[in-house]
Structure 1
Amino acid sequence: MGNLRSVWQALAHVADGRQVLVSSDPAAVAAAERVVFPGQGAMPDCMHEIETRGLRSAVLEAARNKPFLGICIGQQMLFEHSDEGNVPGLGLIAGNVRRFPAEKMIDAMGSKLKVPHMGWNEVRHSREHALWKGIANDARFYFVHSYFVEPQDEDYVVGTTRYGIPFTSAVARDNIFAIQCHPEKSAIDGLAMLANFVAWKP
């Protein structure tokens, strides 16, 4: 679902000779050394594709046992439930996916903010993580989304962003790192994050 080619190109650029494969084959996911789980579009459509292609068990197994990077809806699908379409997610991380509240979409000057949140914005590190290596606190990344995650456990929050309200933009637990923005579209800092993922040994 979405911008698989740009994710592939960015990863291939930093993969240091490793094979980067785009696949919806559960066997390929199971065989991979590490897995990137991107997504764009609507949560119900993404969850439908996971089920239709028989990928649920392969994705769950990968998220339990190998370095795993969720991007955009690939982050949202890790959670228990989404307000978008009132659908269950994969339930790997306790919490929900919420829409930006229209009444709070006001900037510091009192102007109305548009939803979706689209463009460059700062990501503040909530705590240290291997994927932040070489990336300054408050570095800017590229976002396109109308929904954001609300983890039940604040200990999983590793990045926050403000757009009308402060929201969780990055989470991590054990071998999972997931981020709402698009590192593949975020220039040098995005490539640094992907390179950190390629080298990550959780």
Structure 2
Amino acid sequence: MFTAHEFADGGIHIAETLKSLGVKGSFFFTGEFYENPAFAPLVARLQADGNYLGPHSGRHLLYCDWKKRDSLLVTRPQFESDLDMNLRAMARLGIPEPHFFLPPYEWYNDTIVQWTNDLGMQLVNFTPGTRSNADYTYPEMGKSYVSSDRIYASIVEYEAGHPGGLDGFLLLLHAGTDTRRPDKFYFQLRKLIRYLQLKDYELVVVPRLLPRQ
């Protein structure tokens, strides 16, 4: 899975890598991303290649307090209005109505899950255990920064160290990152996919992996 809000520098490289290896990905973008004219060619390319396109909130709101997760920072009307903005932006681009929703910051609580279900959608998130979702970090973040080599190693180590490996795993990456990150992990995507394919994994889009509830 790939998410994006304000950065898309790796988008075309990712699209070309996936197509050349016969793999389709799941891309969750915000409404502001879909509305950005600069990103329109990428969205059109991903759609034409048969990738799954889904919502990631309208304006990338933070739903819950970072330290007290059960404390909501949005009301239900705010949540629904923001997600509706995301869905309308997708509809204007001719993207089929999505069923799966990946929340912004990948941070939510059971109330957000219920609100999503009430709208007839299903919330998804990355599977914990690797550092793949840290590919957005950059050195100025200090101890929070995770290099691309360390990210890659964490995926390989998890696959080798768990009985089920990465079977059914939702691996999250970002379609673009801050310019302050010198080593873009998306440049290791080809190596990662080939590694997984040689391990006989089938890489599929979210709707094929998860049953609709």
Structure with more relative contact order (C-alpha pairs < 8 Å, separation 6 or more): 2
Structure exhibiting the larger radius of gyration computed from Cα positions:
2
When normalised by structure 2's length, the TM-score is: 0.33
Structure showing the higher helix proportion among its residues: 2
